[in-house]
Amino acid sequence: MSDSWVERPEGGSRLAFGLIRTIAEVVGREPTRLLLWPITAYYVLARGPERRASRAYLSRVLGRPARWRDVFRHVHVFSATILDRVFLLGGQLGQFDLRVEGVEQLLEQVDRGQGVLMFGSHLGSFEVLRMLATERPQVQLRVVLDVGHNPALTQLLDALNPGVAKTVIDAGQDGPSLLLAIKDATDAGALVAMLVDRIQPGKPSCPANFLGGTAHFPTAPWLVASVLKVPVLLGFGLYRGGRRYDLLFETFDPCIRIERRQRQQALQGVIQRYADRLQHHARNAPYNWFNFYDFWQPEDEAIDLARAPDPAGPALAGGTVVAGERAGGERG
């Protein structure tokens, strides 16, 4: 399997998302969840690359060959979190059983008026983390999102919660503009959230050991953190079935330092630390992994940091821009 995530088509159309949204708003969450069974069956049968990617991942994380029912459960969990977006973005947080751990670490930074970077992933629901932040008036939330990659979900976000949509920082803009937008937000004391597990084709990445193999992770988010010198927290919104989500926050690093002289070594160290935490939570919630593509791609399909040109050029030395990389990716 060699397809990158950006080469895969969207998992649904505007019409499909709109139809599910309408049904959910009319009959409620539980009746609409019945539709997830045929939707899941169709997805598993019709989307061969995603099915094979699911089986490959599950075999790694479960430590045994994945069966059809494992793949079906995997896709069903993903479908359930997509449906829950309708209610989460619609402000119906009270419908869910949210169990929060470590949020005091986040609020401690916010109370100081200090900007914070929160790094998430395609493990679990990013929306539940986003909506929890909106429930806390003292938290200014900005989300780095590639709005062009998944227009159907972007349109759904705009329709369900225009206020939340306005907090988006478009990751599709050029590198200097993106970094300046993130810097402006953190200077204002905002919590800036982004997803940091997917590489962009042709962009620098760094290998790390992950679930028994070598996977590549983007370097740009860590360079941004090093330039801005703000604390980095990790956030995970893990779906546990029914109405329950576990929201986990943990301090990753109060100030990431990546010196130019030891750039490769420093990046490899920090990204391996991140991969270890991601692996820990993936083993704890294996069916929450929503990267339905070959995450362990052949080495020649990623640009390794050691062979890549400096993505920032001389500008990074001045602490002003990171050119040529996107700091985050859209959740799909």
Q: If pLDDT is split at 50, 70 and 90, which confidence band does 331 have?
A: very low
- What are the pLDDT digits (tens) for 245-264? 999 999 999 999 998 888 89
> With 70 as the cut, is the pLDDT of residue 37 above it?
yes
Q: Using N-to-C axis directions, what is the helix angle for 68-89 and 48-62, rounded to 10°?
A: 100
pTM above 0.75, yes or no: yes
- Specify the 3-state DSSP secondary structure of 108: helix
Beta bridge partners of 304: 205
- Mean pLDDT for the stretch of residues 308-314: 41
pLDDT at 139 over 60: yes
pLDDT of residue 12: 52
Q: Is 76 helix (H, G, I), strand (E, B) or coil?
A: helix
Render pLDDT for 274-300 as a digit per residue (tens, 0 to 9): 999 999 999 999 999 999 999 996 554
Distance, CA of 249 to CA of 325 (rounded, Å): 26
- Higher-confidence residue of 211 and 111: namely 211
Question: What is the pLDDT averaged over residues 190-202?
Answer: 91
Smallest CA-to-CA distance from 65 within 78, 76, 75, 52 is with 52
Q: Please state, in angstroms and rounded to a whole number, the distance separating the CA atoms of residues 191 and 174.
A: 21
Is residue 311 over pLDDT 50? Answer: no
Give the separation between CA 118 and CA 134, rounded to whole angstroms: 14
Domain residue spans in the chain?
Answer: 5-317
Q: Which of the residue ranges 36-50, 177-191, 234-248, 293-307 would you say has the lowest mean pLDDT?
A: 293-307
Angle at 277 (CA atoms; ends 267, 295), nearest 5 degrees:
75
Q: What percent of the chain has pLDDT over 70?
A: 81
pLDDT at 3: 54
pLDDT given at position 8? 52
Least confident residue range of 9-18, 225-234, 310-319: 310-319
| Beta strand segments in 54-203, E | 97-101, 116-120, 141-145, 168-170, 191-195
Tell me which DSSP letter residue 123 carries.
B
| pLDDT computed for residue 39 by the predictor | 92
- Number of CB atoms found within 10 A of residue 91's CB: 14
Question: Does the pLDDT of residue 151 top 80, yes or no?
Answer: no
Percent of the chain with pLDDT over 90: 56
